[in-house]
Amino acid sequence: MPVIFITDAFLFLLVMMVIAYTLYARQHAHLRVPWHDVAQRPLAMSAAIILVVYVVVGLLDSMHFHPRLEATATHDAIYSSEVVSVLDLMLEDLYQNTERTYSAPLASHAFSKEMLDLPDGKQIRDYPRLIYGGAHLDDPAVERGADIAKHILVGLAYGLVISLVVSSVILFLLSRAHQLSFKQTWHKAWHNNFVVSWTAIIITLNFIILLACSIYSLAQHYHVFGTDKVGQDVLYQAIKSVRTGLVIGTLTTLVMLPFAIMMGLMAGYFRGWIDDVIQYLYTTLNSIPGVLLIAASILLLQVYISNHANDFNSPEQRADLRLLFLCIILGITSWTGLCRLLRAETLKLREIEYVQAAKAFGVSHFGIMLRHLLPNVMHIVMISIVIDFSGLVLAEAVLSYMNIGVDPGMNSWGNMINSARLEMAREPIVWWSLVAAFIFMFVLVLAANLFSDAVRDAFDPRLRH
Amino acid sequence: MMSYILRRIAYAFPILVGVNIITFVLFFVVNTPDDMARMQLGMKRVSEAAITKWKAERGYDKQILWNTDAESFEKLTDTLFFQNSVKLFLFDFGRSDSGRDIGYDISQRMWPSLAIAFPSLIIGLLTCITCGLILAFFRGSYVDFSGVIICVVMMSISGLFYIIGGQYLIGKLLHLVPISGYDTGLNAIKFTILPVLVGLIGGIGASTRWYRTIFLEEMGKDYVRTAKAKGLSESRVLYRHVLTNGLIPILTGVVVILPSLFMGSLIVESFFAVPGLGSYTIDAINAQDFAIVRSMVFLGSVLYIVGLILTDISYTLVDPRVRLN
């Protein structure tokens, strides 16, 4: 039985908007040309592929449903009250195979000593074997290294086959589309002569496939990133956190965009008292320290939630509402920058002949803003969306660290870092939760930064040659 | 000049009123004193009497805007809004929900914040301007290319990583400086080294890349070509012309954050246990002490607006083309 959280709905709305935008951009040369420029850059295309992988993971994690427990003759179907996502089904092994407490990456023994019963009735204090990690080994001390190497190699072998198939399919489709022979296609792709930098895409895809296959192969028998305090697989948490990061990075922009565009255009176009009011509004909001405004609002939300505890069906729903609320608050604190840019640009545009001509023809104010101003400031909006994304992903971690981020029960990189931080004082140090969260976050933000650089270079008329 | 400054201050006043109203609405209307009392005293099973007592102790039991019970002037002054929000304009922050004098706490705690934030800013500026200038000097070469890549990579790493990594590497493994804490007087220096260093490394990527763009923009201008045509050496053009002109946007951009340095950095201070205003705010957030959070919101806005005014003034001082209007 499907369940749709509010943020799920927004995410899918966003996907539809991106598809609609793509179709629109294909039709219009002024959008098509800069996007082709982006597609030509190998680095940008590698980054885009990585982003796509993250988005796919995030979307799989956004299809929630109540799993069916059983269907008997007497009952119809019974649904569990638990909410799971499609991604959870795919990662069921990772989710189910929990240990009792901390274990290091790829370990076969637990991280801390416990009292163990020996077969002869005596007790000793030693590291217990893990329930799942390396459980198939008879003597981990001897076999573990070779076994890990074996699993990586097996994974790589499968990965190699898959990546060969994927690359050939892409090249085959390319050669069909351009009516070239396979060899010509290969040649042309290698020299980056297509509109899209296919070599970068294929290389990045192959790399991801190889990495994913070897990790998958290892994850069958080990906890690749270890386990956390309650024994949950850290790799699972890190993958589940992808959705949270994406939601924060994209929904925030989506929420603030209508305000920023409307206010910016109106202030620049009408000038006079409307401009004064809007400028006053954003200077006031801007002068409140953003973190404090977020903190205050989250505190208020906590009060609201605890006063209306009965209105929520599940903790997931509550966490989801908090996530949405966080996006809205982040949006309120961050729309001012874009608004100011749009106002400045509109002030310039409104004096240009075609706007004056439209005015002389009696086009309504709304019509002028929609038809003549909006399309000409869209590049600023575009650039600001992609640049804000990485900053927002990083901000989530910081806010969660201060307990004013997402719900503490929600999987997020910030929460992983926050809970791991408390274990920093342990000796030896529990580092894997931190490292896993930082790696996942770093790859996403780096890809976003590289991609946004390319988008900015392609869309900013000052940089275009 | 004087009248310009006065006019700017007059403009700032409505903004502060706006901030004040927003914070008041957030803290007293959306979230009523009753909610606050329940939060502080424990959510469930709080008697009405306990809530009334809690509110009375803090003066939260007054009417919101207009006190119908009071005499003449007190109708206006003896209200929630006047007592808690209007007084902020006089920098009378009142007492925190736990009973401490907020004004005194702020005056004590701003100095450690400044001791971290000011060196971070100066050292950061010097380093990033130098790096930016070097990259701009080697523009288009492999030095420039790899420098930009390093900047992007460093930008993409979470600031928390630098803090945790710095604490672990320098404090715990190498035992060079204390991991966290603070001390008075000159002893404070050894405690400030690590936070300043972490702040520097955390910000170097974004700033260097930005400064490089600024310098490159300057290098493309006509006066640089003229200077080169005159036969000036590349380094002389760089130092005399590009650097001085490029510094205008950089330094005026810094002016806006100068007053806010007092507020300190929330994250850095709480990680390094520096008793500054940043950690004060974080503690207040975690203890849900709304009185402190409210005061800090107001103080932060005031400092930001002062920064805006200073920026405008500095523009007129640095760039003779800007007129006071």
For B96, the 3-state DSSP assignment is: coil
Dist. CA A254–CA A260, nearest whole Å? 10
| Residues B132-158, mean pLDDT to the nearest whole number | 91
Q: Which residue of A has its CA nearest to B11?
A: A280
Q: Which residue of B has its CA nearest to A452?
A: B152
pLDDT level of residue B125 (50, 70, 90 thresholds)? very high
- pLDDT, tens only, B53-71: 777 776 676 666 666 666 6
Q: What residue type is assigned to position A416 of the chain?
A: M
What is the predicted pLDDT for the residue at B126?
Answer: 93
Listed residue (B151, B152, B179) closest to B165, CA to CA: B179
Burial profile B266-293: b = 16 or more Cβ within 10 angstroms, e = fewer: bbbbbbbebbbbbbbbbebbeebbbbbb
Dist. CA A213–CA A205, nearest whole Å? 12
What is the predicted pLDDT for the residue at A265?
Answer: 93
Q: Which residue of A has its CA nearest to B307?
A: A287
pLDDT level of residue B147 (50, 70, 90 thresholds)? very high
Contact list in A for residue B293 (CB cut-off 8 A) is 292, 295-296, 299
Query: How much of chain B exceeds pLDDT 90, in percent?
Result: 12
What is the predicted pLDDT for the residue at A73?
Answer: 60
Contact list in B for residue A280 (CB cut-off 8 A) is 14-15, 18
- pLDDT, tens only, B176-201: 777 777 777 777 788 888 888 888 99
Answer yes or no: do A280 and B15 touch at CB < 8 A: yes
Contact list in B for residue A398 (CB cut-off 8 A) is 158-160, 267
Which parts of chain A sit beneath pLDDT 50?
A: 465
What is the predicted pLDDT for the residue at A157?
Answer: 93
Q: Give pTM, 2 decimals.
A: 0.89
- pLDDT, tens only, B207-223: 999 999 899 988 888 98
What is the predicted pLDDT for the residue at B44?
Answer: 63
The complex scores an ipTM of: 0.85
Query: How are beta strands A2-3 and A64-65 bridged, if at all?
Result: antiparallel
What is the predicted pLDDT for the residue at A142?
Answer: 78
Answer yes or no: do A297 and B266 touch at CB < 8 A: no
> Which of A303, A434, A445 shows the shortest C-beta gap to B31?
A303
> Which of A289, A429, A453 shows the shortest C-beta gap to B300?
A289
> How close A71 comes to chain B (CA, Å)?
41
> How close B164 comes to chain A (CA, Å)?
8
What is the predicted pLDDT for the residue at A15?
Answer: 92
> How close A394 comes to chain B (CA, Å)?
6
> Which of B155, B161, B296 shows the shortest C-beta gap to A438?
B161
How deeply is A129 buried, as exposed, middle or buried, from its count of CB atoms within 10 A (0-12, 13-18, 19+)? middle
Q: Which residue of A has its CA nearest to B256?
A: A287
Q: Which of B21, B161, B289, B296 would best serve as a mutation to test chain A binding (most A beta carbons within 10 A)?
A: B161
A vs B, Cβ pairs < 8 A, gives 115
DSSP H helices in A119-197:
140-178, 182-190
The DSSP secondary-structure symbol of A103 reads B
| Residues B40-51, mean pLDDT to the nearest whole number | 70
- pLDDT, tens only, A319-348: 888 899 999 989 988 888 899 999 999 998
What is the predicted pLDDT for the residue at A162?
Answer: 93
What is the predicted pLDDT for the residue at A314?
Answer: 76
> Which of A296, A417, A450 shows the shortest C-beta gap to B152?
A450
What is the predicted pLDDT for the residue at A158?
Answer: 92
What is the predicted pLDDT for the residue at B66?
Answer: 65
Contact list in B for residue A306 (CB cut-off 8 A) is 39, 43
What is the CATH T-level fold of the domain B109-288, as seen in this structure?
Answer: MetI-like fold (1.10.3720)
Q: Which of A273, A333, A401 would best serve as a mutation to test chain B binding (most B beta carbons within 10 A)?
A: A401
pLDDT level of residue B322 (50, 70, 90 thresholds)? low
**Whole-number Cα distances in Å, A277 to A281, A345, B249:** 6, 18, 28
- pLDDT, tens only, A242-259: 999 999 999 998 888 998
Dist. CA A43–CA A197, nearest whole Å? 9
Q: Which of B156, B214, B292, B302 would best serve as a mutation to test chain A binding (most A beta carbons within 10 A)?
A: B156
Burial profile A35-67: b = 16 or more Cβ within 10 angstroms, e = fewer: bebbbbbbbbbbbbbbbebbbebbbbbbbbbbe
The chain-wide mean pLDDT, for chain B, equals: 82
pLDDT level of residue B45 (50, 70, 90 thresholds)? low
The string of DSSP codes covering B279-319 is: HHHHHHHHHT-HHHHHHHHHHHHHHHHHHHHHHHHHHHHH-
Query: How much of chain B exceeds pLDDT 70, in percent?
Result: 88
Answer yes or no: do B300 and A300 touch at CB < 8 A: no
Answer yes or no: do B19 and A297 touch at CB < 8 A: no
What is the CATH T-level fold of the domain A239-459, as seen in this structure?
Answer: MetI-like fold (1.10.3720)
